[in-house]
Chains A and B, each alone.
Chain A
Amino acid sequence: MDALLQFVFSGLTVGAVYALVALGFTIIYNASDVVNFAQGEFVMLGGMITVFTFEAGLPLPLAALAAILLTAALGVALNKLAIEPARGAPVVSLIIITIGASILIRGASQLIFDKQLHRFPAFSGDDPIRVLGATILPQSLWVIVGAVAVFVALWLFFTRTLTGRAVLATANNRTAAQLVGINTAWVMTLSFGLSAAIGALAGVLVTPITLVSYDVGVALALKGFAAAMLGGMGNPKGALVGGLLLGLLEAMTAGYLSSQYKDAVAFLVILGVLFVMPQGIFGHKSTERV
């Protein structure tokens, strides 16, 4: 029994990491139908910038804030310099652009920072919390709370605010959105800035657990992308549920079946879900306009 609880704790910790990455995908996707494959790099930057500003003497909260703001600025720059000039390009071109951006950011980080692994202290210490014979680290709670908080904020943003609805309207039909007076260029800038900030926040929260180096972004983006697709791309609820589900699946497989094939089981389940629900768990059915 305590084993099962331990697996659940592990699954929730890892799942919350995936969910945070997956949530970052949703805003850009909602605004522009672009899956930003550089999202993992935003997470990496959040961790790396915090590490280096913290080591330079800034207090941790300030270092984290600096990391989030800098990364958000980079997100805006990415939109201005690479996405906006390519407007109207087919989806596969946009995928290549964001993959190119991720390679570029990785290459630059390797030069600006270094190739070593880094870590900064957990926010509330490393003493595990014991529950019924299982343990969880305080930092895991930070990550889980962080994922839920971002989810709630996004959900409110998209359903309760005018700006959030403007984002959705832009994705739906850019011309129509412009006609009703939405500044679509501003919406795009905003969504890249917000997505990057969420990514960086994820990096700040998870680094004490996962450690960070210039090349952690690919694996994170991959899992986050899979989680988002599992839940249904574009839906914050899908990102949260998809992420937690993926984490729990991996932990349960590692705990009860085989740690060698835990990633395999996760992807098999994703394939299975997509066969039954081609738009993910919470995705909307869309039809092609001719």
Chain B
Amino acid sequence: MRSRTTTALATLAALATLTGAAQAEIRLGASVSATGPAAFLGDPEAKTIEMMVEQINASGGINGEEIALTLYDDGGDPNKARTFATRLVEDDEVVAIIGGSTTGTTMSILSVAEAEGIPFISLAGAISIIDPVREYVFKTPHTDRMACEKIFADMAAQDITRIGMISGTDGFGASMQAQCKEVAGAQGIEILADETYGPQDADMTPQLTRIRNTEGVQAVLNPGFGQGPAIVTRNVAQLGFEIPLYQSHGVASDAFIELAGAEAAEGVRLPGTALLIADLLAEDDPQYQVVTDYTAAYREAYGTATSTFGGYAHDAVALIVDAVTRAGSTDPDDIRDALETTEGLVGTTGTYTFSAEDHLGLDLSAFRMLEIRDGGWSAVD
């Protein structure tokens, strides 16, 4: 019995090394949260990375060299993320890392990447990842601050100045809540009510009743992801709110409309990327090609629609492919240098231009204000 287990383990280990080191040349590492509480983010990310690497290898690789991908699932646990980052660097000897679906896992991978000098592209939102700028760390998603600014600008355009907020206490919601409170004043927005809910809560009518009973509230903003925003949207409809509801980019996927119900979600506004309105884009839109190609490929490979988060991973892979191509080398430092000089790379999230001072390289225009109309997305501006 014991010897059989040992043999099984040995086979398993052998298998792991085999798949990890398939004789190709460019070793790319990834650690995302494909399972666990952040699977909502990590699942489409993992699928996107695997799909793109396959595509690239099928079309001859980069500079004639194939990509060998090692992808780990950290389950959203920062401790595991750090272990996998160490493993990617020390054991799998990758030349670049993509990953960190959440801010917590990103920060854990980040210190390993910095210490070992491996370029790392994060898929998480917090501004603290790239501010202050770290030599080897880049990121593809907009910051939460940018989402807040986009929303507040849209509110201001409609003369909304006093709002109530209801935020999830998960990492995504809490981070955006804090960022929004920081920038609200500068944009002339006053937050009169500030409520929260747990990520697994079933009913938010008490919090929403408090917001409704707060004198002068003109709109409600709900930073969060997962089931929370869907339940908030349904509760807002249940309570018969007559003021507009704003959601965050955290819910930007077709599934949200389905979960909240088209009726309840009607009129909800949120900042999203071109990805969500792929079929509405004009053909001369700079993002038209990349967005249509990606959404079509993803649907063909997995049979479901992708999400904004899958788009973050798409852009990270695209950035690395571009950098390796231009560097003409697989040395981590060369890739890093090439990444930093990325210019005008069109992704699904926006157009990236990195510099020594800016490792995000997106501006506010990458966000588009969307509104849910008749059970589908439409662009406001």
Indicate whether B104 reaches chain A with its CB closer than 8 angstroms.
no
Given contacts A126-B261, A259-B195, contact A117 B206 (CB under 8 A): no
CB contacts under 8 Å to B, within A207-253, are 209-211, 213, 215-216, 219-220, 251-252
Taking the nearest CB of chain A, how far is it from the CB of B140, in angstroms? 22
Interface size class on chain B is 35 or more
Taking the nearest CB of chain A, how far is it from the CB of B208, in angstroms? 9
CB within 8 A of B198: which of A9, A213, A263? A263
Indicate whether B210 reaches chain A with its CB closer than 8 angstroms.
yes
CB within 8 A of B200: which of A115, A216, A252, A255? A216
CA distance A210 to B206 in the complex (A): 16
Indicate whether B295 reaches chain A with its CB closer than 8 angstroms.
no
Q: A10 to B35, Cβ gap below 8 A?
A: no
Q: A17 to B206, Cβ gap below 8 A?
A: no
Given contacts A115-B35, A211-B231, contact A14 B43 (CB under 8 A): no
Indicate whether B135 reaches chain A with its CB closer than 8 angstroms.
no
Q: A126 to B206, Cβ gap below 8 A?
A: no
Indicate whether B81 reaches chain A with its CB closer than 8 angstroms.
no
CB within 8 A of B203: which of A119, A209, A213? A209
Given contacts A126-B263, A135-B239, contact A115 B203 (CB under 8 A): no
Bits for B183-205, please: 1 = Cβ < 8 Å to A, else 0: 00000000000011110111101
CB contacts under 8 Å to B, within A253-275, are 254-255, 259-260, 262-263
Q: B207 to A3, Cβ gap below 8 A?
A: no
Q: A255 to B210, Cβ gap below 8 A?
A: yes
Identify whether the interface residues of A are mostly helix, strand, loop, or mixed.
helix
CA distance A128 to B40 in the complex (A): 30
CB within 8 A of A115: which of B43, B198, B201? B43
Indicate whether B213 reaches chain A with its CB closer than 8 angstroms.
yes
CA distance A3 to B214 in the complex (A): 12
* Residue from B36, B198, B226 having most chain A Cβ neighbours under 10 A: B198
Query: Can you name the residue of chain B whose Cβ is closest to the Cβ of A118?
Result: B259
Taking the nearest CB of chain B, how far is it from the CB of A63, in angstroms? 17
Indicate whether A137 reaches chain B with its CB closer than 8 angstroms.
yes
Taking the nearest CB of chain B, how far is it from the CB of A3, in angstroms? 5
Given contacts A117-B227, A135-B238, A137-B238, contact A7 B206 (CB under 8 A): yes
Indicate whether A116 reaches chain B with its CB closer than 8 angstroms.
yes
B200: A residues at CB distance < 8 A: 216, 219-220
CA distance A110 to B37 in the complex (A): 13
Q: B202 to A259, Cβ gap below 8 A?
A: no
Q: A117 to B255, Cβ gap below 8 A?
A: yes
Q: A209 to B202, Cβ gap below 8 A?
A: yes
CB within 8 A of B37: which of A11, A126, A210, A215? A215
Taking the nearest CB of chain B, how far is it from the CB of A21, in angstroms? 11
Number of A residues near B (Cβ < 8 Å) is 36
Indicate whether B264 reaches chain A with its CB closer than 8 angstroms.
yes
Indicate whether B355 reaches chain A with its CB closer than 8 angstroms.
no
A215: B residues at CB distance < 8 A: 36-37, 39
Q: A210 to B231, Cβ gap below 8 A?
A: yes
CA distance A90 to B157 in the complex (A): 66
Taking the nearest CB of chain B, how far is it from the CB of A248, in angstroms? 11
CB contacts under 8 Å to B, within A9-42, are 9-11, 13-14, 17
CA distance A6 to B237 in the complex (A): 14
Given contacts A110-B35, A115-B39, A126-B261, contact A259 B197 (CB under 8 A): yes
Q: B206 to A259, Cβ gap below 8 A?
A: yes
Indicate whether A206 reaches chain B with its CB closer than 8 angstroms.
yes
Beyond the given pairs A117-B226, A219-B200, 7 more chain A to chain B contacts, judged by CB atoms under 8 angstroms and listed by A's residue number, are A3-B210, A7-B205, A7-B209, A110-B35, A115-B43, A209-B202, A263-B198
Task: Kindly list the 8 A-B residue pairs having the minimum CB-CB distance in the complex, ordered from nearest.
Answer: A219-B200, A255-B206, A254-B206, A210-B202, A211-B227, A10-B205, A128-B238, A115-B39
Cross-chain pairs A/B with CB under 8 angstroms, 19 sampled: A10-B203, A14-B202, A17-B202, A110-B35, A117-B227, A117-B230, A117-B259, A126-B234, A126-B238, A128-B239, A209-B231, A210-B227, A211-B231, A220-B200, A251-B206, A259-B196, A259-B206, A259-B207, A263-B198
